[in-house]
Structure 1
Amino acid sequence: MTEVSNRITMKDVRKVFRLKPGQTMMVDGRASDRITVLSGVDLDIRKGEFLTLVGPSGSGKSVLLDIVAGLTEATSGFASIDGNHVSNPHAGTAYVFQQYALFPWRTALENVAYALEVRGVGKAERRETAQYFLSLFGLNGFEDRYPSQLSGGMQQRVAIARALATNPQVLLMDEPFAALDAQTRDILQIELLRIWEQIKTTVVFVTHAIDEAIFLADRVAVMTARPGRVKEIIEINLPRPRDIEIRNGPDFNAYRARAWNALRDEVQKAQRDWALARSA
């Protein structure tokens, strides 16, 4: 049997935040100045895998990405990339946020090239690489446009192109399509998969949308309500490459039902906890 090689390992990850002085929250019926967001997260992610994370609001999905990115430190437990514990931002990791996070004073080309500039890549190579990745996303002719001159979908294309231009080992994506309209979201999902099929970087993608999670993923990791942990991992055995019509098939519907069955109780618990917190 071929041994599966993991790129990312999370072991017993726990994250506790302290609230601002004077603030408290109801936790297990008691007022507390601390909130446990993640508790006992164990997850291995394979090299070249596309893994999606779904879970109710407040389940710590984005915090988990931040720990893998080295942007925040786990209270206990650890995350590692290729066997090396993550304690600071990792040179082989790129991050795409929900908000496009583009420099408004830089053109599309200059925004993509910036990721290479900070790594000391020469000007000519920066320009050539940035041009290449913009073309992958169908942005030929828009190189000299500023973010304010681009649609939301185009801006997110630029943000993803900037992340990929560094040839990352790990691409972390925090609800990157959540702010887009449904049609643009579908198009970008297909474009992202098309490019991922070529480069096969390891992707960890956070979403609230079950259909998006299933359509993109090799595996879907379902998170519990706060404190978050991995409740279930669903292997998605749908053929690749995928097109949008696959969502109408019986296999996709079966995966959708399974994911929702895993999520339903967690969503209800998160809603109850939120109502209790507001009434406290």
Structure 2
Amino acid sequence: MNENMENYKQFETIRHGEKHGEELSEVGIEQSKIKAQELLEEIKAAPDGSVFYAMSSNVGRAIETRDVIESELITLAENEQGIEFISVQDVEKIKQAKGDKTKKYVITGLQPSTALGFNERTPSLSAFLKFKKAYKNNEDLIGQTWAAKSGELEKLKEKIRQEIPDLDVSGINPKEFDETPEEAALKYIRLMKRMAEITEKYFPDHPWKGLQIGHNLSADFAALAMLDKNISVESIEELGGKFRQFLESAHFELKDGKIVAKYRDQEVEQEKDLDGIIQDLEKASEERKKEWGAVS
């Protein structure tokens, strides 16, 4: 967190807890409880007036992760006099908190967002499910296929051939995803911008942190953009070649018109704000669409 904690404005993006089928497993529930313990220590160390909230994707396992974190936080903080939990629907309490910096506030019950998740109308879902079956549930290969630039595709096909020898890789084509990985990242980052605006509106001059609970591929595409990297196989390999594990975090701080991004062993300070990152992603997405259009 920012050394100047009085003014911090931060997002943390995490993947949901471990799943069993489409729901949280027992391990996932325990992981979420441990995350709540970590958050409580962070809240206790934060300056008075700080505001915290968690928003999940619309997908069940992410909602469950958020619910476990919130309920565990409430239990753990039962005897903490300086922490107040306020439902997002409690307009009067939110108004009171706006002008009161004597406590730390946790806003609960935020509506889940499809921007952090997916549904049957998500353009990339069909290709994701197709490759999930073809790649025997290897989501790292799915993400790399989606992110692959034209110059990276043949090398990636060889890697896939080595890992799945019985698979015909000749027809693998990233454009099957229909939406670019930049478009997937944009959903995350546009939501960050919107939530920052809402938080500043209701809690002006308060330090704050928003926790986004989503999924591995889109969250990591967004993290690459926040780290000032192109979305590509090469960039994924620079992060270790694997997409984020359950509950793994990336941290983004909004600081004087700049972004400080931290993920794994990478830390970057960008001389641009969220609008600048959004503009860069929009441009990169259009370039990829042209590239996809040139690929048969």
Shorter-chain TM-score tier:
0.3 to 0.5
Structure 1 or 2: larger strand share?
1
Structure 1 or 2: larger helix share?
2
TM-score (norm 2): 0.31
TM-score (norm 1): 0.33
